[in-house]
Amino acid sequence: MNRKPHVAVLPNLGLGHLIPQLEFAKRLVVHHGIHVSLLLITTNEPSPAQDQLLSSSHLPPDLHIVPLPPVEVDKKIINDGDVLVLTRICVITDHSLRSLKSVLIALGKPNALVTDIFATQAFDVCKELLIPTYVYVTTSAAFSAFMLYLPKLDSDVNCEFIDLSEPIQVPGCSPIRTHDLLDQARNRKIDEYKWLLHHFSRLPLASGIFVNSWKDLEPPPDSVIFVTFGSGGTLSFEQQTELAWGLELSQQRFIWEVRKPTDSTGAGTFFNAGEANENDPKVYLPEGFLDRTQGGFLSHCGWNSVLESIVHGVPLVTWPLYAEQRMNSTMLVEDIGVAIKPKMEAGQQTIVGRKEIERVVRMVMEGEEGKVIRSRVKELKASATKELDSSGSSYESLSCVANYWKANHN
């Protein structure tokens, strides 16, 4: 019998959630002596990207992958373009978690379950089994505050949030401009908003919330700008053309992870699972790639990418596409001061022109403002390094929870 405390971690289907929760699980095992079962939601449709991630990860001995029984999901839910990504994830998760009780019992009822923000159905199962339940938030503390505040906002405001004349005041946070709201919160009649409200209103039921952040946040070296839009981002053909010209006109070295453009006319979108290149692009990059891409990072502002950039001390050019990324972009530019955001021309709502792209790339790589931003992000890099050390507050915070689990382990 394993004498260590046993914790189950339950991510959702999205790679942007699975990757940080897998790293969280590894940290619990390696640094805090916890036995972890990573529960995987599976369907009748295989996920090559998920399989590749898990097969390429070096898992410590006390971290075990436990696939939940695969569920038969209606082909319409998976393939219908009218079913949006969040709805698809939530419906599949709802189907999958019907087996959670039997899986937790088979595992000997772990000492705690750490679940995803879109898997709060687990609260009810764990309450019945007397298992404390925690939530892992894969984005910023500011967005965590927005999640917790959304039910009150929904109750207090009668109109669409996007129609409010003033920014939204979330306690403890900078005001949120309505045009920075995530798409799912712009129309309160759609299913995606209803899923948001359902799960976010249940978050206070958790025994605790983990936030993937730290206190101080919220060619030759530094000569290459790295351009990528995360595991789910792609651009329209017109925007991709403008970006290519802008990067070329900037006369800066760059590495761009290019994907097939979307047919839509907007500046960006989110593609369906399975359409991305499943191969790791880093396989094809030259030796020393990370060392040379310290110059800058043109990022979609997914929180995982933001943290990776700051931890490596790399300034950002922000290009938000979906989810909470517009809010992240505003925070990075205005509150934290580690990024520059390109502007659209007057009267243009969807395309950032090549001249503006050239301007911001030159600014972050060569300009005085870029030097100020680079200095600030280097400060946060040092702060992040300290946080990950055994004397850092993030390490100590996780230690407190791990020690609590150990003290209450029978």
List the catalytic residues. 17, 116
CB distance 351 to 344 below 8 Å: yes
CA distance linking residue 396 with residue 30, whole number of Å: 15
Residues 6+ apart with CB under 8 A from 40: 11, 50, 65, 66, 67, 68
CA distance linking residue 18 with residue 23, whole number of Å: 9
**Quick one: which H or E segment has residue 357?**
helix 354-366
CA distance linking residue 18 with residue 304, whole number of Å: 11
User: How far apart, in Å, are the Cα atoms of 365 and each of 251, 279, 296, 319?
Assistant: 10, 30, 7, 16
CB distance 128 to 21 below 8 Å: no
DSSP state of 281: G
CA distance linking residue 181 with residue 176, whole number of Å: 7
Residues 6+ apart with CB under 8 A from 47: 13, 273, 274
CB distance 4 to 38 below 8 Å: no
CB distance 39 to 17 below 8 Å: no
Q: Would you list the DSSP string of 94-160?
A: HHHGGGHHHHHHHTT--SEEEEETT-TTHHHHHHHHT--EEEEE-S-HHHHHHHHHHHHHHHH--S-
DSSP state of 350: S
CA distance linking residue 287 with residue 352, whole number of Å: 32
CA distance linking residue 370 with residue 295, whole number of Å: 10
Cα–Cα–Cα angle for 323, 68, 403, rounded to 5 degrees: 80
CA distance linking residue 143 with residue 230, whole number of Å: 19
CB distance 384 to 338 below 8 Å: no
Token digits of residue 4: 């260590």
CA 369 to chain centre: 27
